């Protein structure tokens, strides 16, 4: 039953949307400044850098090697040695009370096992503050590893920490910034389209559009396309702030990272249209978008809390949060320098989300005719 659509209809719609955006100078100014301000503000405010980590060492071995390692621990600026004990039972209460944040346990026969390559150490940390614990643990690992390397053992005594390897400066920003980009971009992008569509409902123009020959899909895509340029520009701004101010590395391909940003803001814009297709006015659109995206993006995406430390039943929820996938891609490209060969799955998920959300939004636009 499909009839050919006049080609002019869609381009007329995009032109009209572009005019709306450019005409409202005040809003446009705010939208352009927002990512700049948000990244700067949050970047400084929520950094999870850990200083003065209180360390207790259990040296059960008491040989020359373990002495050496303990000395190397105490001479590190980031760590504050609060004591050396001889049994593991002595340190557990210290961790519980917070007297120490992390404990390094050197078992007996350390020097001997180091010679034959079977040395082990145990790092214990206070897991209540997951971020802090992870960072503290990483500090200790890095020091043990570099000590072992300096002593000429390679790294046989150390369990390698994959994350550490990519974050040698111990800066929390490096892990934090990709999440911050995800957070800032989804909020701004989704708000833009959500408010734009809700405004049409409020003024009554939505009715006219629905009665017109424009198809719901054209309305949705026509809303998204002009804002895509603005949202992408926001992404570039946010990335520039991260790079210039927080000196986050971009070890992989910049082009690939920009492609990820483009795809992610597309998902966010479509999400905004979907949300506003189900609410009556701009206020509700704004509140629903903010509340609906704020908590999942902060809590479930791996931005603040590592996904690995979430209870298992939460992981399906974390998988449907777009930010989860963008953060994986952004961390991969920025910190690990990996390319599309290892990230195609995440890209595919984001692309799938974009298609799904656009189709769901156009269905929803059609259903809600009031």
Query: In angstroms, what is the C-alpha Rg of the chain?
Result: 26
Distances (CA, A) of 201 to 35, 40, 189, 204, 282: 27, 35, 19, 5, 8
11 or 74, CB closer to other proteins? 11
Q: CA quadruple 145, 147, 152, 156: dihedral positive or negative?
A: negative
Distance separating alpha carbons of residues 202 and 343, to the nearest angstrom: 42
Alpha carbon 318 to chain centroid distance?
Answer: 12
Measure the CA–CA gap between 323 and 243, rounded to whole angstroms: 20
CA–CA distance from 250 to each of 181, 243, 258 (Å)? Answer: 14, 8, 11
Q: Least distance from C-beta 306 to other proteins, angstroms?
A: 46
In the bound state with other proteins, the residue whose beta carbon lies nearer, of 11 and 90, is 11
At its nearest, how many Å lie between other proteins and the CB of residue 191? 18
Query: Is the CB of 204 or the CB of 316 nearer to other proteins?
Result: 204
Minimum distance from CB of 2 to other proteins (Å)?
7
- Pairs from 305-314 (Cβ < 8 Å, separation ≥ 24): 305/130, 305/131, 306/130, 306/131, 306/134, 309/130
Name the residue nearer to other proteins (CB basis): 17 or 59.
17
Distance of closest approach, residue 32 Cβ to other proteins, in angstroms = 18
Q: What is the largest CA-CA distance in the chain?
A: 85
Q: Residue 249: left if φ>0, alpha if ψ -120 to 50, beta else—which one?
A: beta
Burial class (CB in 10 A: 0-12, 13-18, 19+), 55: buried
d(CA 140, CA 63): 20
The answer to whether 199 touches 282, Cβ cutoff 8 Å, is yes
Q: Closest approach of Cβ 23 to other proteins, in Å?
A: 5
Measured from the CB atom, the residue of 47 and 368 that comes closer to other proteins is 368
In angstroms, give the least distance from the CB of 367 to other proteins: 10
Closest separation in Å from C-beta 356 to other proteins: 24
Query: Which residue number, 176 or 227, has a Cβ lying nearer to other proteins?
Result: 227
**Smallest distance from other proteins to CB 7, Å:** 8
User: 26 vs 169, which CB is nearer to other proteins?
Assistant: 26
In b/e form, how buried is each residue of 208-247, taking b as 16+ CB within 10 angstroms? ebbeeebbbbbbbbbbbbbbbebbbebbebbbebbeeebe
Complex with other proteins: residue 6 or 339, whichever CB lies closer: 6
Contact residues for other proteins (CB under 8 A)?
1-3, 5-6, 8-9, 11-13, 15-16, 19-20, 23-24, 203-205, 207-215, 369
* CA-to-CA separations, 259 to 29, 236, 250, in angstroms, rounded: 24, 11, 14
Residue (23 or 77) nearer to other proteins, CB:
23
Residue 334 C-beta: closest distance to other proteins, Å? 39
Q: Could you tell me the smallest distance in angstroms from the CB atom of residue 280 to other proteins? A: 14
**DSSP single-letter state for residue 47:** -
> Exposed e or buried b for every residue in 92-111, given b needs 16+ CB within 10 A?
eebbeeeebbbbbbbbeebb
Rank residues 14 and 304 by Cβ distance to other proteins and give the closer one.
Answer: 14
């Amino acid at each position: 039953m499909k009839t050919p659509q006049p080609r002019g209809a869609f381009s007329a719609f995009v032109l009209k949307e572009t005019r709306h955006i450019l005409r409202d100078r005040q809003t446009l100014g705010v939208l352009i400044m927002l990512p700049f301000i948000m990244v700067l503000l949050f970047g400084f405010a929520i950094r999870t850098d850990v200083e003065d980590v209180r360390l207790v060492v259990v040296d059960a071995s008491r040989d020359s090697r373990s002495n050496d390692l303990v000395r190397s621990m105490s001479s590190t600026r980031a760590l504050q040695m609060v004591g050396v004990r001889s049994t593991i039972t002595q340190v557990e209460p210290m961790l519980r009370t917070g007297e120490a944040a992390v404990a390094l346990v050197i078992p007996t026969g350390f020097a001997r096992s180091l010679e034959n390559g079977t040395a082990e150490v145990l790092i214990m940390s206070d897991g209540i503050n997951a971020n802090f614990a992870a960072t503290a643990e990483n500090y200790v690992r890095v020091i043990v590893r570099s000590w072992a390397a300096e002593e000429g053992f390679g790294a046989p005594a150390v369990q390698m920490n994959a994350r550490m390897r990519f974050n040698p400066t111990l800066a929390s920003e490096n892990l934090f910034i990709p999440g911050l980009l995800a957070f800032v971009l989804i909020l701004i992008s989704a708000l833009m389209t959500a408010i734009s569509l809700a405004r049409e409902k409020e003024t009554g123009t939505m009715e006219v559009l629905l009665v017109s020959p424009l198809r719901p899909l054209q309305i949705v895509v026509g809303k998204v396309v002009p804002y895509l340029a603005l949202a992408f520009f926001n992404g570039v701004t946010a990335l520039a702030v991260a790079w210039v101010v927080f000196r986050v590395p971009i070890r992989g391909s910049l082009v690939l990272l920009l492609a990820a940003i483009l795809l992610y803001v597309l998902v966010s814009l479509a999400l905004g249209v979907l949300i506003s297709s189900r609410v009556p006015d701009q206020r509700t659109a704004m509140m629903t978008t903010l509340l609906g995206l704020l908590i999942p993006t902060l809590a479930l995406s791996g931005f603040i809390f590592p996904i690995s430390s979430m209870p298992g039943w939460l992981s399906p929820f974390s998988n449907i949060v777009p930010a989860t996938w963008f953060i994986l891609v952004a961390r991969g490209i920025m910190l690990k320098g990996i390319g599309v060969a290892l990230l195609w799955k995440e890209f595919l998920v984001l692309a799938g989300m974009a298609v799904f959300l656009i189709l769901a939004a156009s269905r929803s636009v059609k259903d809600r005719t009031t």
